[in-house]
Structure 1
């Protein structure tokens, strides 16, 4: 009887599992990740070198300062860092809820 109950529970789990996944969200996430990879992979060899990674992050840091260094002094104040933190929270929230 225990084996039969386990079998029913396992079947119910596998039948319900697809309802919790979101193939469209997963596909879009994969496509975005592939595009980011291709953008960073400057020489197109299908691998990310240390130099390519550093360059990609340099671009991100430049954009960060462009958007949040309001007084253009080349430094981020506590107030400016709080603005970065709030923006990151918004982006994470949006990313987590894109598939819903």
Structure 2
């Protein structure tokens, strides 16, 4: 007499809960991505995600630094009170 093994019903899950997005590359870009992925020992998908994430981080940092530069330039345009007072005394 043979015993039948009971299997749990398989529930098909997607590999991940990630969103899919189709991208069209300009001619010549795909081989560059493939080479970068090979050098980094990761898939092309992982390479693209890595680059996009890093690019977004850098853009945020550039925006933050631009605000700091704008504030410094604006502060430099406003004469300081002692300097303004000295300039008034010279012209008086």
For normalisation by structure 1, the TM-score amounts to 0.29
Larger Rg: 2
Instruction: Decide which structure has greater helix share.
Output: 1
